[in-house]
Amino acid sequence: MFCSQCGSENPDAAAFCVKCGKPFGAPSSAPQQPQVQPPAGVKPAAVPPPQIESHMLGAILSTLFCCLPFGIIAIIYAAQVSDLVAAGNYAAAAEKSAKAKNWIWAAIICNLLGWVITVASIVIFVFYSTVNA
Amino acid sequence: MSKEENRTPSAFPPRKRLIAAAVFAVAAAGAAFLYFHPPGEFKFYPGCLFFKLTGLYCPACGNTRALYRLLHGDLPGSLHMNPMLVPLLLLAALLFCKPELSRSRAVGWTAFWVVAAFWVLRNIPVFPFTLLAPGG
């Protein structure tokens, strides 16, 4: 069983994730259920994989609007998340997911910094031109 | 019971809805401001830091002008400034409406290779590629 929050592997009977402590629902309501074989021809309803955010949407938006190549790094990590989830390596996927998120924030913060510097330089320019006038 | 457990969590938990609302609010305010302040006349737009540092275009160079033209309904003008703005906005809208697609390996790597190729090609100062540069 993999934790739906951090992706780390846990014993099937665990009540809480060994890594991040996320509770796995009430144990009384989760008796061991035998794997039901799906009828032939029907796509097997596999165990739902842990929901690891790829952050692809945020990565694309930060590439579009933050005008710094950091967004592209976020796209690479986001694509790697989908690779690792497909390979079943949820712990590594969670790691890449966190990195994608960090690069999105780096792009946003750099962009905001650019705006702060711009606004500050306009204020300083206007201030000096009024003082000199 | 098993149905209840296997049900995938809602695509938009409250925290995500909050982020989406914040992004929409900022985007709407930014778009409204941009609509009335054409980047050609107003010099206060910060411009691209990557371009200032390296002299090379980044994949988003020209997006302010492209978005201004798009907001005024000038699609050819928008593509003229940055041909990737409209396709990537459509992709973002698609990922927003179908979040499961953002876990697709094909979508992710296609997005990466298209943007990476675009980044390289728009910096080649030879005819067909100059079309990809801002104003080309």
Q: What is the pLDDT of residues B34-47, one digit of tens each?
A: 898 888 887 778 77
Whether the Cβ atoms of residue A68 and residue A107 lie closer than 8 Å to each other: yes
Q: Using a CB-CB distance cutoff of 8 angstroms, which residues of chain B are in contact with residue A54? A: 102-103, 108
Secondary structure of residue A9 in the 3-state scheme = strand
Q: Determine whether the interchain pair A61/B49 forms a contact, defined as Cβ–Cβ distance below 8 Å.
A: no
Contact A88/B at CB under 8 A: no
Q: Is B25 left (phi over 0), alpha (psi -120 to 50) or beta?
A: alpha
Classify residue A87 by its DSSP letter.
H
Contact B14/A at CB under 8 A: no
- Distance from C-alpha of A78 to C-alpha of A100, rounded to nearest angstrom: 6
Kindly identify which residue of chain A lies nearest to residue B50, measuring between CA atoms: A68
pLDDT at A119: 83
Q: Using a CB-CB distance cutoff of 8 angstroms, which residues of chain B are in contact with residue A66? A: 60
pLDDT at B73: 92
Q: For each of chain A's 133 residues, which pLDDT tens digit applies?
A: 777 777 777 777 676 676 676 667 644 444 455 555 555 555 555 566 677 888 888 888 888 887 678 888 999 999 998 889 888 888 888 899 999 999 999 988 988 888 888 888 888 888 888 887 6
Bridge partner residues of B127 (DSSP) = none
Kindly identify which residue of chain B lies nearest to residue A112, measuring between CA atoms: B46
Please state, rounded to an integer, the average pLDDT across all residues of chain B.
84
Is the complex ipTM more than 0.90? no
